[in-house]
Amino acid sequence: MTDYRAVAAQELEVMGAFRSPWLRAAFHAVDRTHFIPPRFWILDTDENGLHQVIDRSSDPDAWLRAVWETHRSVIVQMNDGHTADQGPARGEFSSSVSAMDIVFEKLNQLDLEPHHKVLEVGTGSGCNTAYLCQRVGPRNVTSVEVDPTLAEQAVDNLKRAGYEPETVCGDGLAGWAGSAPYDRIINTASVRHIPTAWRSQCRDGGTVLTPFNTLFARGGLLKLRVLDRVASGRFTGGANYMWIRSQRPANRVTELHEFKCRASPVDPAQVLGRSWAQDFVLGLHVPDMSVDRRDTETGRQAQLWDEAGSSVTVVRYTDWWQPDAVTVWGERDLWADLVTAFTAWRTAGQPHYTRYGLTIDDAGARLWLDSPDQTVSLPNALRPSTLS
């Protein structure tokens, strides 16, 4: 049987995943198999759109191969635990053991020292928790998990692997004041608002590292430094994590009847879907806007709606210059807002998303480019709190 752990170690080495030397030792000390259930789902789907299950008892080689694959997550829960792991299923992923490449990238960026106290939001299976314990010791790690079943399983997994950090079942957005302040706060699910508790429970000079989504596009990694309850920092890379549960998009739209039509000033294909990086930057400019692109009988179109559910705009790709290419329901012309953001980004020279950052204080969040004193104006006078 292939030694898939050795294969993973070699690949991670080549990828530079161990640029913080302690991570190489942590990889070899923490056995990932302690944190993986006997059955789990994978991202691959069958012809019916169902995610496949891998069962250790029926195919141990496939199970080990999936466990140690560096670029892929292992899905351990779907639909908040309402879907049994007995067979293929469809639905929303609600817990995973994250892919090793992004796990180690985040731990590299955390700049973790042996004396640091760490708050982890989202214990999940406990695998990432074990890496933290390996660096700072279990006494310096507090981990919070919102799901009681997952929390119980994580405690068992950690004990089996030889770690007993402080584990709490609760809402990670509230942090855990009992062990604050923390030198480092690391989140393992995506947020779109930075909670006040993280700023207040982080020691001055400390770091908050979190996956960050907008409603428009997922997948940013935000690294914040905290001083006097003000958190500020840049997007440092990509990190495609599932939503933290209490910040999942509602995707609700009020029934709207009156509409108006107009032409688009630009080809929608230039604005939408050119690249993930472009979509993510545009999402930072229009943080209360969602998008759904689809093919219809009349051609490609995009539907935009705001978080309040009070405005919807549909733009047609074909013959976009025609007077009926854009249809607007509600108070806001969302395509106009998005095009304004697109023009601002193009005029600025199409800056990469890693040049953008956020500053969050008690008044809300401000988007900036290159420096916190270069605030980016958001279209439609969106409130600063939209991003906080």
The residues assigned a catalytic role are 98
Please state, in angstroms and rounded to a whole number, the distance separating the CA atoms of residues 350 and 370: 13
Supply the DSSP string of 45-96, one letter for each residue.
E-TTSPEEEEETTT-HHHHHHHHT-TT--EEEEEGGGTS-TTS-B-S-EEEE
- For helices 148-161 and 127-136, what crossing angle results, to 10°? 50
Cβ proximity of 203 and 182 under 8 Å: yes
Please state, in angstroms and rounded to a whole number, the distance separating the CA atoms of residues 74 and 81: 15
By C-alpha distance, which of 252, 273, 260, 257 is closest to 336? 260
Beta carbons within 10 angstroms of residue 260's beta carbon: 9
Tokens representing 94 are 């609600």
Q: Which residues contact 386 (CB under 8 A, 6 or more apart)?
A: 287, 288, 364, 365, 378
Cβ proximity of 232 and 199 under 8 Å: no
Please state, in angstroms and rounded to a whole number, the distance separating the CA atoms of residues 23 and 130: 12
Angle at 247 between CA 241 and CA 252, to 5 degrees: 115
